[in-house]
Structure 1
Amino acid sequence: MRPSRGGRGVLAGDVALPARPSRLAVRALSAAVVVVVVLAFWSVDIQWGRLSDLPSEVVRYLGLMFAAPEWSKLPEALWQTWRSVAMAWLGTVLGILVATPLSLLAARGHGPAPVRGALRLLFAVIRAVPEIIIAIVILSVTGLTPLTGALALAVNGIGTLGKWGYEAIEGIGPGPVEAVRAAGGSGTQVLRWGVWPQVLPAFGSFWLYRFEINVRSSAVLGLIGVGGIGDMLTSYTQYREWSTVGVLLIVVVVVTVAIDAASGALRRRIMEGARARAVQP
């Protein structure tokens, strides 16, 4: 065994062994991550001494909220929760109506390259802006109404549904698409008969998952006064009526978990189909 010329490796007989890869880039990246983490902790004004009081404070507030909940507020809490769910549903439907055709155009092989690039950039920009910022912009036109929250959820949903949509389209099998084209089908017919039947189950799953996200986001949007359970939570929290806040949190958790469970079951049924049942002889 002898070193090769130029120090690029080691010769073992007539076989050149590769040189050991340099780990300089990995070490530099690790050092950069450490520096960023340290600077993040250094720049945030964290009162570390108060962390020791956190467990006792959490227990105290949990007692204030759930020791004696104000159940007389339950009907109003259910009504405001329904408004939040309706806001989420409307935002989801509007997002689907806009994002679905745009995702078809943004998919590779189904839309012009300039259009694809513009739509993908649009989806990325929308996803970079939180719903609450979008709602603040929209409320200057529509005011503090549930419609503002629904429109904000719809706009944000266009970014996520559009991205999920064109990625699903680009992952389908080429067989049906080629068959429609070989039969002389137009671009619209290719999308209708070659693409849409393949992506419909994935799209249905995406729509349900987006509805789940919108249900949770609608409560957050209520913090800026667009209505719903979040608006009610903000009001009673500001007045420190913790027994009412406890009832509101119970309603939010129960409704959200129920919607997530139902949506999850539907998504599994769409993607996996019905389970086969054993036939008794």
Structure 2
Amino acid sequence: MSQQAPPRVLTVAGSDSGGGAGIQADLKTMLALGVHGMSVITAVTAQNSLGVQGYWELPAEAVRAQFTSVVDDIGVQAVKTGMLASIELVETVAELLAGVAAPVVVDPVGVSKHGDALLAAEAVATLREQLLPRATLATPNLHEVAQLTGITVLEEGEMRPAADALLELGPRWVLVKGGHLSGDAADLLAGRDGEEYWYRSPRYDNRHTHGTGCTLASAVAAELAKGQEMPQAVAAAKAYVTGAIRGGFALGGGIGPVDHGWLTRG
């Protein structure tokens, strides 16, 4: 007996061979939150708990073919972008997103949790000028805020001006993630029409946080695909990623991943 398909979410990102971030984290998050995850792989990384040993971009035509294959036949209720690596891939994805009516969550991935570059320096301007205007929501961490705007955020009071600078680049909403500041983990959602929402959670003493940014962006995309409005989608995603951080576990000799399956175990 045929069942109704769940909401469909497409992730456009790199593959993490260690399974903690990238495409792997995105699909685990989508499954946990009850949507059907689909993928466009932009790059393959050799990656483990100690860092990124190398990455190889896919040709733009391979990215384009994956995207159109899914969107033209299956359709999407939301799209999430992550690691895009190069100018050519950023341009390609921005062009493809121009034809999509569904909400787009852009995680402007610049470096890995270990500090390894995942976006060519010369591609930052392209991401700023061509991809961010396509975004329904952009989800930069503080390093990415500085990379995109030149603004260094050192305290919570500086997050709103940074959000305003990002909004001027074109996204409808911006979620500035304050996870690298001291105190509680505070994130600011700001909208183009002056909206402002703060989300706070306890800071857990757990170093195993690999995949946090990918997980949060994918969780927001999943909630948007289910029909949530942006403030509620971010609140639900924040709750999910907070639980995942709390349950983060050791793998290998370095930084382990967050626990994407924590909801199934409580």
TM-score normalized with structure 2 length: 0.26
- For the pair shown, the structure with the greater C-alpha radius of gyration is 1
Richer in strand (by share): 2
TM-score normalized with structure 1 length: 0.25
Richer in helix (by share): 1
Structure number with greater CO (CA < 8 Å, separation at least 6) is 1
